[in-house]
Amino acid sequence: MRYMLFGAILVANMLPVVAVHAATANGKGDSVCPDQATIEANKKLASAMFTRPVKPDEFGKATDVMDKDYIQHNPEFRRFGEINHLHGREEFNALMPMMMAADGPFAPPPPDAPKGNPLYKVMGDCDMVIVLQQRYLPDPQYKGKYYEAFWFDAWRVKDGKLMEHWDAAEIPTKLPEFLLKPLAELPKKQAAPAPDKKAN
């Protein structure tokens, strides 16, 4: 599987390190820790990113919580942006529908998969928020079964907006179509519908 597995202990240990990095970003050291109420608001802001859009044309709503100068560190998004001359919120809006298509990496799980928790643990420290997600992936050794895995997303928050994003993504060895052709040459894909809640 292309996703790296992260345990809660690893992410918990990483959080203070990431926070220090953010506090000294660009060598300016201009980041300050807000009060606890603001930290809780930042956690809710990041958690809102995991509300799945009902319709493909609603993807733009996700960018409402992003700063106009949103910085993306996910290498797949960045490479896609380079190919298509997009960045930040623009590349997010263009790529997410393909990522969430039925054959994409963010497609909804099969109906028989155990229900994961996209907000398994939400941790905030100063201007940083890390969201640990619980997923169940098809087991390559035991057909028809699933195994528990974890993924994380980290954001730096500034003035009530998501300013900067990190995760564990890598550019896969087998390049997806969206990294081989510019957007204008790709077939249009819509996000796959969310699974029926009754199935979970």
Work out the pLDDT band at 146, boundaries 50, 70, 90: very high
Environment class of 22 (CB within 10 Å of its CB; exposed 0-12, middle 13-18, buried 19+): buried
Residue 194 lies in a domain: no
Q: In what side-by-side order are the strands of the sheet with 117-125?
A: 66-72, 161-167, 146-158, 128-138, 117-125
pLDDT tens column, 94-123: 988 888 876 777 788 888 999 999 999 999
Residue 1 lies in a domain: no
Q: What angle do CA 1, 59, 44 make, to 5 degrees?
A: 80
Residue 188 lies in a domain: no
Residue 196 lies in a domain: no
Q: Is the pTM of this model over 0.85?
A: no
Q: What is the dihedral of CA 93, 43, 120, 191, to 10 degrees?
A: -10
List the CATH number of the domain containing 74.
3.10.450.50
pLDDT tens column, 35-63: 999 999 999 999 988 875 656 566 667 78
Q: Which residues of 136-157 are buried (b: 16+ CB within 10 A; e: fewer)?
A: beeeeeeeeebeebbbbbbbbb
